Amino acid sequence: MAMKIIKKVMQKKTIKLNQLEIKLEKQHEKREWEAHTSGLDVLISTILSQNTSDSNSSRAFKSLKKVYPSWTKAARAHKASITKAIKSGGLAKVKAGYIKSALKRVKDDFGTYSLQKLKKKPIDESLEYLTSFDGVGEKTAACVLLFAFGKKVMPVDTHVHRVTHRLGLIKETADRQKSFQFWFGQNNIVDYYNLHLNMVRHGRLICKARNPKCDECALREACAYYNRRKRK
């Protein structure tokens, strides 16, 4: 009996995910994967994006690359100099330490300032490796694998997490790891890259934290949050 219940739940979720991918693409757009620079660039830029706005982190990354055009030069720089270069991104002293540590680790492990060897490794092995870095969690690691190498993995930011639990795919929780665990290894997703970007866009434009635009949402009929609101 238990196995039948589990199977039914999984079938329901599978149907929902298929609908989700198609409907989000129709409401927003189709995004074809292309490498977002190198794996190491994505790692450092994502570290800089933590707890700040996209515009601030972008300025910090551009400033860092302007001062240190190569990661070799950045690795040789003093932490204070990196802190100064990335100050526009916030938490600069902490992030400078993470960056210095990451550069040293990559060079020690691979003999060069490159994460390219992760491209051929299994996703779970790469995630375990990257999350062993100081300041690198599952979201940052997943960004490296998805954006640099096109791996089938879902970076879970605040928007992806919100949409995930509002749809009823997971129970409502502040723990983003629950969302990450749900999305990990979902073989029925056709295009993780396209789905991720559209979920982020949906969370920003439609499924907002406050005053979500449910009447404009293409997912509302299958949305647990919307159906609860209708019953009130």
Region of 144 on the Ramachandran plot (φ > 0 left; ψ -120 to 50 alpha; else beta): alpha
What was the pLDDT predicted at 232? 67
111-143 tens-digit pLDDT: 999 999 999 999 999 999 999 999 999 999 999
Residue identified by tokens 């949906």 is 202
pLDDT digits (tens, 9 = 90+) for 213-226: 999 999 998 899 99
Cα-Cα end-to-end distance for the chain:
34
The answer to whether residues 18 and 195 touch, using CB atoms and an 8 Å cutoff, is: no
pLDDT averaged over the chain?
91
For residues 3, 176, 157, 15, the Cα torsion angle rounded to the nearest 10 degrees is 10
What pLDDT, on the 0 to 100 scale, is given for residue 17?
81
For each of the domains in the chain, give its residue range(s) and CATH number, in order of start: 17-32+155-231 (1.10.1670.10), 39-149 (1.10.340.30)
pLDDT at position 2, please?
Answer: 32
Task: Assign 3-state DSSP to the chain and report helix, strand, coil percentages, each to 5.
Answer: 65, 0, 35
The percent of residues in the chain predicted with pLDDT above 90, rounded, is: 81
**pLDDT: is 169 or 36 the higher one?**
169
Comparing CA positions, the residue from 38, 61, 35 lying closest to residue 112 is 38
The phi-psi region of residue 211 (left if phi > 0; otherwise alpha if psi is between -120 and 50; otherwise beta) is left
5-37 pLDDT, tens digit per residue, is 233 334 344 346 878 999 999 999 998 898 788
Task: Tell me the pLDDT tens digit for each residue of 58-88.
Answer: 999 999 999 999 999 999 999 999 999 999 9
Residue 63, judged by CB atoms within 10 A of its CB (0-12, 13-18, 19+), counts as: middle
Cα–Cα distances (Å) from 68 to 71, 77, 102, 145, 195, in that order, read 7, 9, 15, 24, 34
Give the residue numbers annotated as catalytic, written as ranges: 139
Q: What is residue 10's predicted lDDT score, i.e. its pLDDT?
A: 40
Long-range contacts of 176-184 (CB under 8 A, 24+ apart): 176/138, 176/139, 177/138, 180/138, 180/139, 180/142, 180/154, 180/156, 183/153, 183/154, 183/156, 184/153, 184/154
pLDDT tens profile 173-224: 999 999 999 999 888 898 999 999 999 999 999 999 999 999 999 999 889 9
- Summarize pLDDT for 99-114 with one digit per residue, the tens: 999 999 999 999 999 9
